[in-house]
Amino acid sequence: MPLRRRDRHRELDRRIERFEREHQRHREDEDRPLQSRDAQPRGEHHDGDADDDLDLRAPLRPYQVRDALERETERPQQAHTASVADIGILPRDAVARRLNRELFVALGSTAAVLLQMAHPLVAAGVDQHSDFRRDPFGRFHRTANTSLDAVFGTTARARRALRRIDARHVSVQGTAEDGRRYRARDPQLLLWVQATLVLTSLRWYELVAGRLPPSDRQRYWDEGKVFARELGVPDDLFPRTIGDLERYERDMLVTAAVPDTTGRTVARIVLHPFAVVPDALYWPTDVITAGLLPPALRAAFELRWGTAERLFFRFVIHALRVWRALAPKWLAFVPHARLYDERVR
């Protein structure tokens, strides 16, 4: 064997040994919550779904191997005829899939965002680090797509979506308007954000589709804990029951989640993202948002709630009830839910 080829083989052997040692050190990371892992390398590589650029001269990192394997498992199941359908990280009969498959539920997302902005530390993080001003629709689409991947995706896709969220949070830290320090990976802030998502979607769904049984309401919150736990919220921080969660929200709205100037500014941009569009054209979405917010926040965010708004809100609810009864699934359900149904049936 020529000397040059032999040297290349020796170098390859050394890289393989180095990779195996590194991989061994990281194997235990897989079962630990995301919050306890070193997410900085992923923050540089996983803000989207595109494959990482590989330096062929350097050994592969463990996350590159892991993500490559995960992408392979997400190929159409027709190629694996003997496999069992992957239902993801939630139970097969998850309440979260029943609610979030409905397209109309997305209409309540602005109210959830405004509840989040009521917390000055959350608002500061969004104001200083988000691209919502430059690309509001793109930001909404990416956030919604990642969230739906976590609910409806395979186990690999769901965990990858949660890792993307965690990776984006790594660099989100700074100082709020009142001088307090914040960081997006603070478990208290993560809990508040998750609470707003669960409670707003639950209320909006129940207004249109009818109140869920108490057991289903509790299961919905228990499923919400799965996502928050993966992002680093410890179990001892969770309100235990859905009733406890509602009491937690009420307490937060009189203690910690009180909008400051930054929160009100961000809320106005979220409500009316394009200044060239007349305010009157935003009125329908403003009404839906106002109808899902507590009265104190309607006033803080300057959302009108008079007779016209109340009548229109009731009209929207009745119209959506008719929509649910008549619309075909391909119109009424989000694409992620339709793909999930095809995968598991």
Query: For 287-344, how does the pLDDT look when each residue is reduced to its tens digit (9 = 90+)?
Result: 999 999 999 999 999 999 999 999 999 999 999 999 999 999 999 999 999 999 999 9
- Mean pLDDT across the chain, nearest whole number? 85
Which one, of 183, 194, 270, lies nearest residue 225 by Cα? 194
Alpha helices per DSSP H over the chain = 3-26, 40-45, 62-73, 95-100, 109-117, 120-129, 136-152, 155-169, 187-209, 214-230, 242-254, 261-271, 283-291, 295-300, 307-326, 329-332, 335-344
- Residue 247 falls within a domain, yes or no? yes
- Residue 50 falls within a domain, yes or no? no
Name the pLDDT band for 8 (thresholds 50, 70, 90).
Answer: low
Which one, of 280, 288, 311, lies nearest residue 106 by Cα? 288
- Residue 23 falls within a domain, yes or no? no
Range with the poorest average pLDDT among 26-35, 87-96, 289-298: 26-35
Which one, of 200, 206, 130, lies nearest residue 169 by Cα? 130
CA distances from 78 to 72, 82, 184, 248, 344 (A): 13, 9, 40, 46, 12
What pLDDT, on a 0 to 100 scale, did the predictor assign at position 25? 52
Per-residue tokens: 271 = 């409500």
What pLDDT, on a 0 to 100 scale, did the predictor assign at position 132? 82
Across the strands, what pairs with 174? 182
CA distances from 36 to 107, 184, 187, 231 (A): 34, 14, 12, 9
Name the pLDDT band for 80 (thresholds 50, 70, 90).
Answer: very low
Asked if 109 and 144 count as a contact pair (C-beta separation under 8 A), the reply is: yes
Element (H, E) at 173: strand 173-175
The model's pTM is 0.77
Domain total of the chain: 1
- Residue 9 falls within a domain, yes or no? no
- Residue 236 falls within a domain, yes or no? yes
Give the gyration radius of the chain's Cα atoms: 23
**Cα three-residue angle 265-274-302, rounded to 5 degrees:** 40
What is the mean predicted confidence (pLDDT) over 17-30? 50
What pLDDT, on a 0 to 100 scale, did the predictor assign at position 31? 44
Query: For 153-193, how does the pLDDT look when each residue is reduced to its tens digit (9 = 90+)?
Result: 999 999 999 999 999 999 999 999 999 999 999 999 999 99
Q: Which residue has the tokens 């106002």?
A: 290
Residue 285 has pLDDT above 50, yes or no: yes
Name the pLDDT band for 138 (thresholds 50, 70, 90).
Answer: confident
Length of the chain equals 345
Rounded Cα gap, residues 119 and 6, in angstroms: 62
**Distant-in-sequence contacts of 235-243, Cβ < 8 A, 24+ apart:** 237/187, 237/188, 237/191, 238/191, 239/195, 242/214, 242/217, 242/218
- Residue 149 falls within a domain, yes or no? yes
- Residue 123 falls within a domain, yes or no? yes
- Residue 314 falls within a domain, yes or no? yes
Domain extent for 336 = 95-344
